[in-house]
A and B are shown apart, each in its own frame.
Chain A
Amino acid sequence: MTHVAIADQEEETHHHPTSFVAKYVWSQDHKVIAVQYSIIAIFVGVVALILSGFMRLQLGFPDTFSCINPNTYLQFMTMHGMIMVIYLLTALLLGGFGNYLIPLMVGTRDMVFPYLNMLSVWFYFVSVLVLLASFFVSGGPTGAGWTLYPPQTILPGTPGNEWGIILMIASLAIFIVAFTMGGLNYVTTILQARTHGMTLMRMPLTLWGIFIASMMGLLAFPALLVSAIMMALDLLAGTSFFMPTLVSLGDSVDHEGGSPLLFQHLFWFFGHPEVYIVALPAFGMVSDVLATHARKNIFGYRMMVWALVIIGALSFAVWAHHMFVSGMNLIFGFFFATTTLIIAVPTAIKVYNWVLTLWQGNIKLTPPMLFAIGFVFTFTHGGLSGLFLGNVIVDVPLADTYFVVAHFHMVMGVSTVMVLFAAIYHWYPLVTGRMLHEGMARLHFWMTFLGAYAVFLPMHYLGFLGVPRRYFAMGDTAFMPESAHTLNASISIFALVLMLIQTVFIFNLIWSLKRGPKAGHNPWGATSLEWQTPQVPPGHGNWGDKLPVVHRWAYDFSVPNAKEDCIPQNVPKGADETHHDGSGEHSEGKTV
């Protein structure tokens, strides 16, 4: 067979590191780097979760806990938001899953630039240290809100306006450098290192999601970098990029002629794509989990790919929907409301396709599948409230209320976390060679899913009542009915339960490392390449001495007349099917 001959031309000698330090600390192996990324990300994620616990305690039971005062509330809120969005989700999805899956799924031995990859994780580590250091400096971390809007970020009165904000800016800058080094690797590896037969349209959707998201990250993070540099200059050198002439605490400030609105534009030019940077890899992974555990090919593969590309491109043209109440020109508002609603079309197509993938599938309610289906629910809900907020006229009264808090937690907090759980349950057997404990996993799912609804659904109602976001306490405002207070208390109790149940998950992760049942080869019957390595878990260099050759797309599940209900991508045509005329039922994607 000729494919054996072409399978391996890349015969670079891969040196195998031997010492512990070379293997697990200064490692250039993408799998080790992925695990390093994931552990750091989950660690800061837990910190952010605990911070939200403190906030909820205060909101549910005001005046009970003396350790939370208005300043610490703002600081916890800022750190919670920033950590969750950037240091947990972005890092875990791209640095963690991206690193682990890209080389395995495209069928190569490692990232194209392993050294850069190693630098990336260490820069990330430093950025997290700098961020956490701000808890220990005088004045504490910044309390400016994760959006860091000037002028209040810099002015006295905002907690952490001396050291906290400097460390935050420094940490973000380091993170951007880390992300850029990683992102260049992800994109180049996907474009240049795909194995023989892996055309772009044969890539699993996970890869597509990661690819588009990395591309977007590379082009969006510069906006954050620019605003961070300018803000740092305003802060340290007394320039006036963003700082207007104003009187603060009775004194006029030294700045003159800057524009806070410029910052908002720059921030959201990054901030909105950022939402999709965490959403698109999640979209991709959930597609693969749904297809695999429903034993059915993904519905409308091409449409799914195109939708990812279109969402990626459009998301650079909607940023000002975060600024409807900033006093912008009405025509601008109209333009951005329109683009925002247009982006809902490809997004809705994706939701339909996920549901249609399940239709008449052979659904296995495994833990990853439960979380994936949970995602379809939470994402639909979060998306629907987004349609409300996308309309200027509805957004104006709802802006800065708990409706917004409910919306973004549903759409990017809960939904993305659901996919992360699905992905961890799905790929843990590959990474560790062990299955996670099924009972604990089910308990974890139901408590998380129902808990998330118990916490975030009532917040929509609070938003309609007009409860403002970023408030330490509601006080005795007359328009606030008693029900709002009891609701807040119940939300807090559910939030604490939701947090506690995550310990079951963490325990499961650690316990199963040693005690979990052996996973064996390809336990879910998946088709994509990462499950077809000679060793499980994949060894150094991934593929033994021959790179795999790809013969088909990643969704040959339940092919009529085939012996198995899944045909891996590296199985040659005809080897596993008796006859196959190409017009079989499995090619329903043709309707695309």
Chain B
Amino acid sequence: MNIFQKLTEKPWEPSSDAMAAAVATGPTSQIDARKLMLNIFLAIVSVLFLLIFATFITHSQYPGFESLAGEPWKPFADTTNLWLNTLWLTLSSVAMHTGLVKARRGISGHALIAMVLAIFFAVQFVLAQLWLWRDLSGMGYTLPSNPANSYFYLMTGVHALHLIGGLVVVLRSTFLLWRGGALERIQNSLKLCATYWHYLLGLWLVLFFLLTRSPETYRAIAIACGLG
């Protein structure tokens, strides 16, 4: 039944095959529930970031907003560092996906190695981001010095916090894998971890794109979104 049929059911009419209805419905497994919960959680995180993006774009149209890219002397005129960080996070995502595939084939040893690599790359990413922060503030682009910088630290910071929170769960799943618990359970938690990781990678790419635009592009986005 699609959602439309579900919402147009006439519950007061005696259904001809009540038994069929009873069999077709009923509680689902804990696994499905976890998956649903993760999806809702991702929707919440998306709303969180969409709101930050909306305020960011609006703010970019106010006088005094010094975007971090656009002119050759701006820090993000050269994005090599950011690409390197992206590489770490992508490697982490790929490793985690490999771990999932291996776990599904039942090759726990390989899966474990892949997961450890994924954790390693993710930690690298966080450290590299911290390095980026250090570089920027060293050049005088500190958190309070301009709203553009504040948004940069805010967005990358909140993103990193989500990654660190996810690491706790990933560590737990990896520990389960190492201890060799019930395989089906492990596969499922790895699946959820991988989904979350790919999501964070995608989110990072959006942040990357958004933070390195020129004032003209912000202007265009603002007008397109009706925020200008």
CB neighbours (8 Å) of A258 from chain B are 147
Q: What's the Cα separation between A582 and B41 when bound, in Å? A: 42
Q: Are the CB atoms of B33 and A192 closer together than 8 Å?
A: yes
Task: Tell me which residues from 197 to 249 in chain A have a Cβ below 8 Å from any Cβ of chain B.
Answer: 197-202, 218-219, 222-223, 225-226, 229-230, 233, 237-241
Q: Are the CB atoms of A240 and B144 closer together than 8 Å?
A: yes
CB neighbours (8 Å) of A226 from chain B are 48, 51-52, 55
Q: Which 10 A-B pairs have the closest CB atoms?
A: A553-B11, A257-B64, A197-B22, A238-B144, A196-B26, A222-B48, A201-B9, A239-B150, A192-B33, A196-B22
| Chain B residue nearest in CB terms to A583 | B13
Q: What's the Cα separation between A248 and B174 when bound, in Å? A: 54
Tell yes or no: B30 within 8 A of A by CB: yes
Given contacts A219-B44, A262-B58, A269-B51, contact A193 B27 (CB under 8 A): yes
CB neighbours (8 Å) of A269 from chain B are 51
Q: What's the Cα separation between A586 and B13 when bound, in Å? A: 10
Q: What's the Cα separation between A198 and B154 when bound, in Å? A: 45
Q: What's the Cα separation between A194 and B9 when bound, in Å? A: 17
Residues of B within 8 A of A (CB): 6-14, 18-19, 21-23, 25-28, 30, 32-33, 36-37, 40-41, 43-44, 47-48, 51-52, 55, 58-59, 62-65, 143-144, 146-147, 150, 154, 158
Q: Are the CB atoms of A301 and B12 closer together than 8 Å?
A: yes
Other-chain residue from B7, B25, B41, B144 in contact with A198 (beta carbon distance below 8 A): B25
CB neighbours (8 Å) of A10 from chain B are 27
CB neighbours (8 Å) of B51 from chain A are 222-223, 226, 266, 269
CB neighbours (8 Å) of B7 from chain A are 200-201, 302, 305-306, 309
Other-chain residue from B11, B32, B43 in contact with A201 (beta carbon distance below 8 A): B11
Other-chain residue from B37, B40, B48, B55 in contact with A113 (beta carbon distance below 8 A): B37
A–B complex contacts, Cβ < 8 Å, 26 sampled = A6-B26, A112-B30, A188-B37, A188-B40, A191-B36, A192-B28, A196-B23, A199-B9, A200-B7, A201-B6, A202-B11, A223-B47, A230-B55, A237-B144, A241-B59, A254-B144, A257-B63, A262-B58, A262-B59, A302-B7, A309-B7, A547-B27, A549-B22, A552-B14, A553-B12, A580-B14
Give per-residue flags for A72-103: 1 if the beta carbon is below 8 A from chain B beta carbons, else 0. Answer: 00000000000000000000000000000000
Q: What's the Cα separation between A245 and B33 when bound, in Å? A: 49
Given contacts A302-B8, A573-B14, contact A192 B21 (CB under 8 A): no
Q: Are the CB atoms of B6 and A112 closer together than 8 Å?
A: no
Tell yes or no: A37 within 8 A of B by CB: no
CB neighbours (8 Å) of A254 from chain B are 144
CB neighbours (8 Å) of A257 from chain B are 62-65, 146-147
Q: Are the CB atoms of A590 and B26 closer together than 8 Å?
A: no
Tell yes or no: A514 within 8 A of B by CB: no
Q: Are the CB atoms of A218 and B27 closer together than 8 Å?
A: no
Q: Are the CB atoms of B19 and A3 closer together than 8 Å?
A: yes
CB neighbours (8 Å) of A573 from chain B are 14, 18
Q: Are the CB atoms of A259 and B143 closer together than 8 Å?
A: no
CB neighbours (8 Å) of B13 from chain A are 582, 587, 590
Q: Are the CB atoms of B11 and A241 closer together than 8 Å?
A: no
CB neighbours (8 Å) of B48 from chain A are 222, 225-226
Q: Are the CB atoms of A219 and B43 closer together than 8 Å?
A: yes
Known: A192-B36, A233-B150, A553-B11. 9 other contacts (CB 8 A): A6-B23, A112-B30, A112-B37, A188-B36, A223-B47, A237-B144, A552-B11, A573-B18, A590-B12
Tell yes or no: A469 within 8 A of B by CB: no
Q: Are the CB atoms of B59 and A233 closer together than 8 Å?
A: no
Q: What's the Cα separation between A587 and B12 when bound, in Å? A: 6
Q: What's the Cα separation between A218 and B25 when bound, in Å? A: 26
Q: What's the Cα separation between A580 and B43 when bound, in Å? A: 45
Given contacts A6-B23, A219-B47, contact A239 B11 (CB under 8 A): no
Q: What's the Cα separation between A216 and B44 when bound, in Å? A: 10
Q: What's the Cα separation between A230 and B6 when bound, in Å? A: 41
Q: What's the Cα separation between A262 and B57 when bound, in Å? A: 11
Task: Tell me which residues from 1 to 37 in chain A have a Cβ below 8 Å from any Cβ of chain B.
Answer: 2-3, 6, 9-10
CB neighbours (8 Å) of A262 from chain B are 55, 58-59
- For residue B38, give the distance in angstroms from its CB to the closest CB of chain A: 9
- For residue B227, give the distance in angstroms from its CB to the closest CB of chain A: 10
CB neighbours (8 Å) of A108 from chain B are 27
Q: Are the CB atoms of B27 and A241 closer together than 8 Å?
A: no
- For residue B160, give the distance in angstroms from its CB to the closest CB of chain A: 14
Other-chain residue from A256, A259, A265, A572 in contact with B18 (beta carbon distance below 8 A): A572
- For residue A161, give the distance in angstroms from its CB to the closest CB of chain B: 18
CB neighbours (8 Å) of B143 from chain A are 233, 237-239
CB neighbours (8 Å) of B147 from chain A are 239-241, 257-258
Tell yes or no: A52 within 8 A of B by CB: no
Tell yes or no: A297 within 8 A of B by CB: yes
CB neighbours (8 Å) of B21 from chain A are 197, 199
Other-chain residue from B10, B27, B62 in contact with A302 (beta carbon distance below 8 A): B10
CB neighbours (8 Å) of B6 from chain A are 199-201
Q: What's the Cα separation between A301 and B158 when bound, in Å? A: 43
Q: What's the Cα separation between A302 and B8 when bound, in Å? A: 7
Q: Are the CB atoms of A194 and B25 closer together than 8 Å?
A: yes
Tell yes or no: A166 within 8 A of B by CB: no
Tell yes or no: A184 within 8 A of B by CB: yes
Q: Are the CB atoms of B64 and A256 closer together than 8 Å?
A: yes
- For residue B47, give the distance in angstroms from its CB to the closest CB of chain A: 5
Task: Tell me which residues from 251 to 304 in chain A have a Cβ below 8 Å from any Cβ of chain B.
Answer: 254, 256-259, 262, 265-266, 269, 297, 301-302
CB neighbours (8 Å) of A239 from chain B are 143-144, 147, 150
Tell yes or no: A551 within 8 A of B by CB: yes
Q: What's the Cα separation between A138 and B43 when bound, in Å? A: 40
Tell yes or no: A172 within 8 A of B by CB: no
CB neighbours (8 Å) of B158 from chain A are 229
CB neighbours (8 Å) of B27 from chain A are 10, 108, 192-195, 547
Q: What's the Cα separation between A108 and B33 when bound, in Å? A: 14
- For residue B23, give the distance in angstroms from its CB to the closest CB of chain A: 6
Tell yes or no: A555 within 8 A of B by CB: yes
| Chain A residue nearest in CB terms to B3 | A200
Tell yes or no: A462 within 8 A of B by CB: no
Q: What's the Cα separation between A453 and B25 when bound, in Å? A: 47
Q: What's the Cα separation between A112 and B33 when bound, in Å? A: 7
Given contacts A184-B37, A241-B150, contact A6 B22 (CB under 8 A): yes
The residue in B13, B19, B154 that gathers the most chain A C-beta atoms within 10 A of its C-beta is B19
| Chain A residue nearest in CB terms to B64 | A257
Tell yes or no: A589 within 8 A of B by CB: yes
Tell yes or no: A180 within 8 A of B by CB: yes
Task: Tell me which residues from 524 to 562 in chain A have a Cβ below 8 Å from any Cβ of chain B.
Answer: 547, 549-553, 555
CB neighbours (8 Å) of A301 from chain B are 11-12
Q: What's the Cα separation between A333 and B171 when bound, in Å? A: 50
Given contacts A6-B22, A192-B33, A257-B63, contact A187 B8 (CB under 8 A): no
The residue in B11, B33, B37, B154 that gathers the most chain A C-beta atoms within 10 A of its C-beta is B11
CB neighbours (8 Å) of A256 from chain B are 64
